Amino acid sequence: MQPIRQGDVILLPVQQIEGQKLSHLTLAEGEVTGHKHRIMDGQAELYEQDGTLYLSVLSSEAVLVHEEHQAIAIPQGTWMVKIQREYEPQSWRYVAD
């Protein structure tokens, strides 16, 4: 499986998930607008371990939505959720959405 990107969120395929199951399906909240990257359709579970989120898509696919981006179908599997960073001459910074 290939990485999947929506705005500042990137999903990286992983073999297994560890951590505590969360009661929500919000992958990230926008720092500027307050919009959220979240799973709307399909069956999925979100886990957290040491500050890192992991998404398990249990159905054939789940739909990742955000108010400013096109919805994306995430195929069944396990994914690490990361916020992308970009380099500026002085340092690295997280991409703001």
Concatenate the DSSP letters of all residues of 27-57 into one string: EEE-SSS--EEEEEES-EEEEEETTEEEEEE
pTM over 0.75: yes
> In the Cβ-directed half-sphere of 88, how many Cα atoms lie within 13 Å?
7
Give the confidence band of 18 by pLDDT, cuts at 50, 70, 90. Answer: confident
In percent, the amount of the chain with pLDDT more than 70 equals: 80
Is residue 95 within 8 Å of 88, Cβ to Cβ?
Answer: no
Average pLDDT, the chain: 85
Provide the number of structural domains found in the chain.
1
Whether the pLDDT of residue 3 is over 60: the answer is: yes
Q: How far is CA 55 from CA 31, 33, 91, in A?
A: 21, 23, 29
Q: Each residue of 54-94: pLDDT tens digit?
A: 999 999 999 999 877 789 999 999 999 998 655 555 654 45
> In the Cβ-directed half-sphere of 73, how many Cα atoms lie within 13 Å?
5
Is residue 94 within 8 Å of 36, Cβ to Cβ?
Answer: no
Show the tokens assigned to 92: 């690295």
Residue range of the domain that includes 12: 4-94
